[in-house]
Structure 1
Amino acid sequence: MNKMVNNFGKAITVFCALLFILHTTRAAPTQKNLFNQATKAIPGIVNGSPKIVHIVNFIRLLEPRDPAITEEVLYQTVVKQVELINKYQLSGTFLLQYDALLDNRYQKLLKSLPKDRFEIGGWLEVPRPLAQNAGLTWRGNSAWDSRADVDFTTGYTPKEREKLIDTYMASFKKVFGYYPKTVGCWYLDSYSLNYMYQKYGIIASCNCKDQIGTDGYTLWGGYWNQAYYPSKLNAYMPAQTVKGQIPVPVFRMLGSDPIRQYDNGIGTGHQGVVTLEPVYKFGGGDSTWVNWFLKTLIDGEAMAFGYTQAGQENSFTWKAMQSGLSYQLKKIAALQKAGKLQVETMARTAIWYKKHFKVTPVTAVTAMEDLPGKNQKTLWMDSRFYRINLLWHGDQLRIRDIHLFDQSFVSPYFSQKAVGPKCALFTLPFVDGHFWSNKADTSRAGLVFWIKKQGVFEKMQGGRPTITRLDATKMQISWPLQNNAGILNIILGERNMNVQLLDAPENTIWKMSLLSFNNTELPFKQINTNSIQCQFKNHGYTVNLLKGQFVDQSKTPTDHQIYSITPRKGSIEFDFGVR
Structure 2
Amino acid sequence: MKRNVLNIVNFLRGTEPRTDTDIHKPFLEQLRLMKENNLRGTFLLQYDALTDPFYTDILKELPPEQFEIGVWFEVVESLCAPFGVEWKGRWSWDYWSEFSFTGAYTFDVREKMADKLFHDFKEVFGYYPRSLGAWCLDAHSIAYISEKYDVDAYCNCKDQFGTDGYTLIGGYYGQAYYPSRSNNHCPASSDKTRIDTPVFRMLGSDPIYQYDWGMTLNDGADPVQTVVSLEPVYNGAGGGVPSWVDWYMKENFNGKCLSFSYAQAGQENSFGWDGMKNGLEYQFPLFSRLEKENKIELMTLSEAGRYFRSTYKDTPASTIVCDSDWKDGEDHKTVWYCSKNYRVNLLSDHDKFRIRDVYLFDDRYHERYLTELCTTHDMYLDNLPVMDGNIYTGSGILAGIFPVKDGREVTFTDMKYDELSCDTARVEFLDNRKLVAGFTLSPDKVEIDGDCEWEYRAGGKTRLPVTLKGTSADRADFTFRGFEYSLRAERGHFDGKKIIPQDGKIVITKG
TM-score (norm 1): 0.85
Measure the CA separation in 1 of the matches of 2:445 and 2:108: 40
Match of 2:256 among 277, 301, 313: 301
Distance 2:155 2:460 in 1: 32
- The letter for the 1-side match of 2:313 is K
Question: Is it true that 1:574 corresponds to 2:485 in the alignment?
Answer: no
Any conservation in 2 of the 1:438–1:517 contact (CA below 8 Å)?
yes
Q: Deviations over 1:165-219 (max 9, x none)?
A: 1111111010011111111100110100011111122121011001111111211
**What's the CA shift for 1:265?**
2.7
Query: Which letter does structure 2 place at the counterpart of 1:474?
Result: T
Displacement of 1:298? 2.1
Instruction: Give 3-state SS (helix, strand or coil) of 1:52's partner.
Output: strand
Paired residue for 2:228, among 274, 277, 293?
274
Q: Please tell me whether residue 63 in structure 1 is matched to residue 5 in structure 2.
A: no
Which one-letter code corresponds to 2:505 in the other structure?
S
Q: Matched residues in 2 for 1:276 and 1:428: separation?
A: 27
How far apart, in 2, do the equivalents of 1:525 and 1:112 lie? 60
- In structure 2, how many angstroms separate the alpha carbons of the residues matched to 1:382 and 1:285? 28
Could you tell me whether the CA contact under 8 Å between 1:157 and 1:415 is conserved in 2? no
**66, 84, 88: which one aligns with 1:135:** 84
Residue 272 of structure 1 aligns with an amino acid whose one-letter code is: T
1:244 aligns with 2:178: no
Alignment RMSD (CA, Å): 1.3
- C-alpha distance in 1 between matches for 2:441 and 2:45: 40
* Structure 1, gaps ≥5 residues long: 1-38, 40-48, 502-508, 553-562
Give the match for residue 403 of structure 1: 359
Within 5 Å, which residues of 2 pair with 1:536-575? 536-552=480-496, 563-575=497-509
**Partners of 2:476 and 2:80 in 1: CA distance:** 46
Contact (CA 8 Å) 1:300, 1:365: kept in 2 or not?
no
Distance 1:478 1:264 in 2: 26
Q: State the SS of the aligned residue for 2:455.
A: strand
Contact kept, 8 Å, 2:428 with 2:435, in 1: the verdict is no
SS of the counterpart of 1:236? coil
SS of the equivalent of 1:62 reads coil
CA distance in 2, matches of 1:372, 1:264: 13
1:123 to 54, 72, 76: 72
Deviation at 1:372, TM superposition (A): 5.3
Compute the displacement of 1:526 (Å). Answer: 2.8
Change (3 A) 1:293 1:97: same
CA displacement at 1:300 relative to structure 2: 4.9
1:159 paired residue number = 108
Structure-2 residue corresponding to 1:29: none
Is the CA contact (8 Å cut-off) linking 1:533 and 1:542 kept in structure 2?
A: yes
Equivalence for 2:123: 174
- Whether the 8 Å contact between 2:436 and 2:452 is mirrored in structure 1 is no
SS in 2 for 1:369: coil
Report if the CA contact (8 A) 1:460-1:481 is conserved. no
Q: Which amino acid aligns with 1:458?
A: R
1:114 aligns with 2:70: no
CA distance in 2, matches of 1:299, 1:167: 42
Note the 1:9-158 alignment, pairs <5 A.
39=1, 49-66=2-19, 68-69=20-21, 73-158=22-107
Aligned residues: 502
- Provide, for residues 53-89 of structure 1, a one-character-per-residue CA deviation record: whole Å limited to 9, x for no partner: 00000000110001x21xxx21221011011011111
Counterpart amino acid of 1:566?
A: I
The reply on whether 1:446 has 2:404 as its aligned counterpart is: no
Percent identity reads 37
- Report the Cα distance in structure 2 between the residues aligned to 1:398 and 1:522, rounded to whole angstroms: 18
Question: Structure 1 CA distance, aligned partners of 2:138 and 2:240?
Answer: 31
How far apart, CA to CA, are the structure 1 residues paired with 2:144 and 2:37?
Answer: 37
Instruction: Go from structure 1 to structure 2 and tell me whether the alpha carbon gap of 1:439 and 1:564 turns closer, same or farther (over 3 Å shift).
Output: closer
2:453 matched to which residue of 1? 511
How many angstroms does 1:451 deviate by? 2.1
The one of 232, 244, 247 aligned to 1:292: 247
1:191 and 1:474 mapped to 2: Cα distance?
32
Distance 2:9 2:120 in 1: 21
Picking from 316, 321, 325, the partner of 2:271 is 316
The runs of 4+ residues in structure 1 deviating greater than 3 Å are 484-487
Q: Out of 394, 405, 409, which is 1:459 matched to?
A: 409
Task: Encode CA deviations 1:226-274: one digit per residue, 9 max, x unaligned.
Answer: 1111110111111111211101100011011111111113223221101
2:384 is the alignment partner of 1:428? yes
Contact 2:152 2:303 in 1 (8 A): no
Q: TM-score if structure 2 supplies the norm length? A: 0.96
